[in-house]
Amino acid sequence: MGNLRKRLARKLIALRGDKSQSQYARETGLSKSTLSRLEAGEQNTTLDSLETLCRKLRIDILDLFQDED
């Protein structure tokens, strides 16, 4: 799995917190299966999807890839 995919996967899981994948998928505008594959680091995503995700979460795209130390 690529480094960026790992970072994105970790960030999505952290941002989801205690919410179910189904609930979080609805909030982000992603399908549950897409969210699941992204969290597992098994799927690439498009810039359009990342832009939508950031808009829905009200975060900057850089926030999705920064490691939290």
Q: What is the pLDDT of residues 8-37, one digit of tens each?
A: 999 999 999 999 999 999 999 899 999 999
Local confidence band at 68 (pLDDT 50, 70, 90 cut-offs)? low
- pTM of the predicted structure, to 2 decimals: 0.84
CB 57 within 8 A of CB 49: no
Give residue 1's pLDDT: 55
Domains and CATH numbers, the chain: 3-64 (1.10.260.40)
Burial label, 30 (beta-carbon count in 10 A; 0-12, 13-18, 19+)? buried
